[in-house]
Structures are given as C-alpha cells and as structure tokens.
A and B are shown apart, each in its own frame.
Chain A
C-alpha cells in the first residue's frame, strides 16, 4: 500500500490533463473549442425559434401580429414556388452589390491616400466626417429628384449610406500600419509611391477587407429603406406591400431571408479572409 501511494504521488501532473488543463469557460478572453462554440451559437437560434413557436402556439398573441413558424414557412414555400421570391431576392442582391461595389471602388483608393498623405487627409477627412452625419434617408427626395425612380436612385442611396463610413474606416485601417514597416521600406530605398502600394496597401489589406465586410451590413439597411420608398420590386418592396395587405407572415419571410443572406455572406467573407490573409489574426 505504501509504495502504491508513493507512486501515485510522484506521477507527473501531465498524466491528468483532463482534470488540470481545461480552461474554465468563464475566463476573460478565455478560449473554448470550436465545436462548443458552434453548439452554443446553434442553441441561441433554437432558443429564439422555440420562444417564437411557444408564444404563437399559446395563443396569447393574435396571429395577425405574430404568425407562427409554421405559417411563415408555408408563406416562404408559396412565395418561393408560386410567386417570385427568387426574383425579388435577385434584384435586391443586385442593388446591394452595385451600390456597395461602387462605394468600395471609390473608398479604397481615397481611404488609402487619406491614410498615406496628410494634405489629402486635411482636404477630405473633415468633409467626410461632415457627410457621414448627414442622414442618408433624408436624401431620398433629392435622390429621386436627381436619379429618378430607376435603379440609379436605389444604388445612389446605398452609396450615400456606405461610402463616407467606408472612407473613414479605411483611412483609419491605413493609419494603423506600424510606422516601422514604413520606415524600414524607406531606409531600403522605397519611394513614396512604393511605400503606399507595397507597404501601406498590403499591410492594411486584411483590415480593409474586414471594413468592407462590416459596411456590407450597412448596405442592406439602406437597400430596404430605398426599396420601401421608391421601388416596385425587391425584398424591401415586398415587405412594404405585405404590410399594406396585413400579410404579417410575408413580412417575417422577407426579414428572415435578408437575415440569412447577411449571415451567409458574412461567414463566407470571414472564410475568404482566412484563406487570403492567413498571417492576419482576426
């Protein structure tokens, strides 16, 4: 007995990893494994769904105000097969990506040069800060006056809603490139143009990509606003139509479809980020 006890005491702690090496779940900035993370994420969606189902099934709320998941699913199927959900989604996607793309194509170079050169910053940054606070939605009458009620007005509104934010965020991404990376390039003989393209842009690329991912979310908000005011197609338009005819479940479908598209694009972009910039920590 004595020897056995002694042996068990001299065992290195490494033989009991499951007892000692597990990080507690509630450590600040602690890490949990991927599976557990996914499980918790799934639980939040299931809980929301369960809550929704529970409330609508209990009958305390009129289905006109809160249709059940079943009714919404039914509406989704009929909208998808008998009506033109894909068409509405397609046109909305087109508008979002056109407006967002236009913003990005303009904001990336401008933000890069604001972050690189102080005179450019002095000229544009206060202007952008001012424009950022102009409520995009208040531009709707002007946009309709200038761009008519065609695709141009929707794309313009999304541009107004995203461009100024994007420029400022990208210039900030570029400003955060460590000075020593710039100085090292200069002492190796790099010209200003080379520093901008070979150091600033490359170094800030992962952060710029993240900025684009975040601002894509803003684009959806302004899309729905634009489609509710001035459109005769698209998910936002469909939601507004449904409100007129009190088709609450259709409103739910529209909102959920937008949410799912957002979630899927966001996750896809995160994945692309990891593939494109394996050196960058997220």
Chain B
C-alpha cells in the first residue's frame, strides 16, 4: 500500500502563478482523474508529481518521503507515446529492465520473473502479434498500448498518465478505456489521469478533481459512484447527469462562453 500526499503545493513560472495551494491524496487501488479548462495547470501538477518539474512551495511525499525527482515508482505515459523507434515492441516494454536500478543484485529467478512479466504485459495489452514490430509500423492506439506496458513493466506504485488518448480517434479511445480498466483490476498501481475529456474522466475514475485556472487550484472533487463500467453506461441518466454537472463546473471556471445567438446577430447586422 502506497500513498501519494500533496499538500499546499504551489508553482510559479516567474510572474505566472500556475498552481496555488493544491491538496491531493492518492492511494494504491485508486483511480483519480484531473480535469479542467486549458491553462488550469493539470499537466503541470502531474509533471511535478512525476518529478519532471520542481514545485515552488508545499509538500509532496510518497509514503512520508519527499519527492526530489523522477523515479520508477511513478512511471509516466505521455500523449505522444514517446516510444523508442529503434527498439522493437518487446524491447520497448523491457526498456527499464536494462537500467542499472533493476540490474544490480539480480538473481536468475528474478530475471526469469521479469521476462515472464513482460510477456504477460504484452499479452495483456494485446501486443503479442506485433511484439517484434517497430513502433513506426504501429497505429496510434497500438503505440499507446506499448507505452502503457513499458510504464507498467517498472511496477510503479503510481501510474501517471498525461492525456494519453488525446491523439486517438473515438473508437480506439473506447477500446483503450476498457483496457485501462482491465489493467487497473489486474495491477496494483494507483492511477493519476489528466484529461480534458469529461466523459473519459467519469468513465475511468473513482474520483474526478476539477481544477480551475488563473491561478490553477482545486475547484471541486467529485466521487464517482457508478456501477460496473460498460460502454452502455455512458448513455445512462446517472452517467450523463454527473458528466453534465462536471462539464458545467469547468465551463463556469473557464470564463469562456459561447453564444451562437450573439454570433448570428453579429453577422446578421453586418
């Protein structure tokens, strides 16, 4: 059981206040989605937790130990897949096993275990058929499966996902959503998932956190208490209700509004 603890965290880029006073706790087995209007700092928060950005003030701890930089306990999945094009699918998945942090004091049974695990992940992600292919031969959805498998190979306590399906088409996204839920059921990682897609957030997460921009801060937290996930759930009144509520919240915080009537009046008057 691991706990990620964020308290009074703030981030400034010179004059720009990106995040103000963020509190967040994430525990093994949880799936938390961060949503919010663009500029709310959701990706920045994820990158700070991943150790890729520094915080300005505040506490950031994993099991009581402060986070000083990136680590394999917090593996990350990026929107642009970031695979290694010179490696095959299987080699990409096993990339972390070639790093010093894993190779010291490794017994042969541990090596066997890691090979078994990588094969398991390749199976789980439906990559068996393409295990010897190179990333540039794969579709976007398949590439993101490789990236997720590669991150899971590190057996992270926290899997940080930064708009991982933002570049995929709707049908592929649905497949990926169910795949992620399946991974969540089989792996012992906690998930922190950044997205701008409210439907995705509600479908995947146990808890949705809405961030508001200028400066980035926690606007509201929404526990999602829905029955077992299934694609048809997205059309049920309960699902649509919470989706609408969260969407309205984001709209209210964004300060942006669209008014088709006003636009039509404008062009009519010209």
| B150 adjacent to chain A (CB < 8 Å) | yes
11 CB-based A-B contacts, threshold 8 Å: A180-B78, A183-B78, A184-B82, A186-B51, A187-B50, A187-B71, A188-B95, A188-B151, A191-B99, A199-B84, A278-B134
Question: 6 more A-B contacts (CB under 8 A) besides A178-B82, A180-B78, A198-B98?
Answer: A181-B84, A183-B78, A187-B50, A188-B151, A199-B84, A203-B84
Q: Do the beta carbons of B95 and A185 come within 8 Å of each other?
A: yes
CA distance in complex: A199, B95 (Å): 10
One of B72, B76, B80, B101 near A178 (C-beta < 8 A): B80
Q: Do the beta carbons of A187 and B100 come within 8 Å of each other?
A: no
| A280 adjacent to chain B (CB < 8 Å) | yes
CA distance in complex: A79, B183 (Å): 73
Q: Do the beta carbons of B150 and A188 come within 8 Å of each other?
A: yes
| B33 adjacent to chain A (CB < 8 Å) | no
User: Chain A residue with minimal CB distance to B85?
Assistant: A279
| A277 adjacent to chain B (CB < 8 Å) | yes
What 1/0 mask marks residues of chain B from 85 to 112 whose CB sits below 8 Å from any chain A CB?
1100000000110111110000000000
Contacts of A84 in B (CB 8 A): none
Contacts of A277 in B (CB 8 A): 86
CA distance in complex: A187, B50 (Å): 7
Contacts of A184 in B (CB 8 A): 76, 78, 82, 147, 150
User: Chain A residue with minimal CB distance to B136?
Assistant: A279
CA distance in complex: A130, B71 (Å): 40
B66 shortest CB reach to chain A, Å:
17
Q: Do the beta carbons of B80 and A189 come within 8 Å of each other?
A: no
CB-CB nearest 8 A-B residue pairs: A189-B72, A180-B82, A187-B76, A188-B96, A186-B70, A189-B101, A184-B82, A279-B85
B93 shortest CB reach to chain A, Å:
11
| A202 adjacent to chain B (CB < 8 Å) | yes
A186 shortest CB reach to chain B, Å:
4
Q: Do the beta carbons of A187 and B85 come within 8 Å of each other?
A: no
Q: Do the beta carbons of B100 and A194 come within 8 Å of each other?
A: yes
CA distance in complex: A137, B101 (Å): 50
Q: Do the beta carbons of A187 and B80 come within 8 Å of each other?
A: no
| A190 adjacent to chain B (CB < 8 Å) | yes
Contacts of A180 in B (CB 8 A): 78, 80, 82
Q: Do the beta carbons of A188 and B154 come within 8 Å of each other?
A: yes
Residues of A within 8 A of B (CB): 178, 180-181, 183-191, 194, 198-199, 202-203, 205, 277-280
Which of B52, B85, B136: most chain A Cβ within 10 A? B85
User: Chain A residue with minimal CB distance to B71?
Assistant: A189
Which of A178, A189, A203, A279: most chain B Cβ within 10 A? A189
A61 shortest CB reach to chain B, Å:
53
CA distance in complex: A166, B8 (Å): 49
Contacts of B71 in A (CB 8 A): 187, 189
CA distance in complex: A45, B76 (Å): 54
Looking at chain B, what size class is its interface with the partner chain? 20 to 34
Q: Do the beta carbons of A188 and B72 come within 8 Å of each other?
A: yes
CA distance in complex: A205, B85 (Å): 12
A191-B100 in contact given A181-B84, A184-B82, A280-B85 (Cβ < 8 Å): yes
B223 shortest CB reach to chain A, Å:
28
A187-B160 in contact given A194-B100, A279-B136 (Cβ < 8 Å): yes
CA distance in complex: A180, B78 (Å): 7
One of A188, A191, A278 near B75 (C-beta < 8 A): A188
| B74 adjacent to chain A (CB < 8 Å) | yes
Contacts of A191 in B (CB 8 A): 99-101
Q: Do the beta carbons of A187 and B75 come within 8 Å of each other?
A: yes
What 1/0 mask marks residues of chain B from 146 to 161 whose CB sits below 8 Å from any chain A CB?
0100110010000010
Q: Do the beta carbons of B160 and A188 come within 8 Å of each other?
A: no
State which residues 50-77 of B face A: CB under 8 Å: 50-52, 69-72, 74-76
Contacts of A178 in B (CB 8 A): 80, 82
Contacts of B95 in A (CB 8 A): 185, 188
B164 shortest CB reach to chain A, Å:
12
CA distance in complex: A181, B83 (Å): 7
CA distance in complex: A186, B67 (Å): 14
A187-B52 in contact given A180-B82, A202-B86 (Cβ < 8 Å): yes
Contacts of B74 in A (CB 8 A): 187
User: Chain A residue with minimal CB distance to B76?
Assistant: A187
B154 shortest CB reach to chain A, Å:
5
A279-B134 in contact given A188-B151, A198-B98 (Cβ < 8 Å): yes
CA distance in complex: A278, B80 (Å): 21
A188 shortest CB reach to chain B, Å:
4
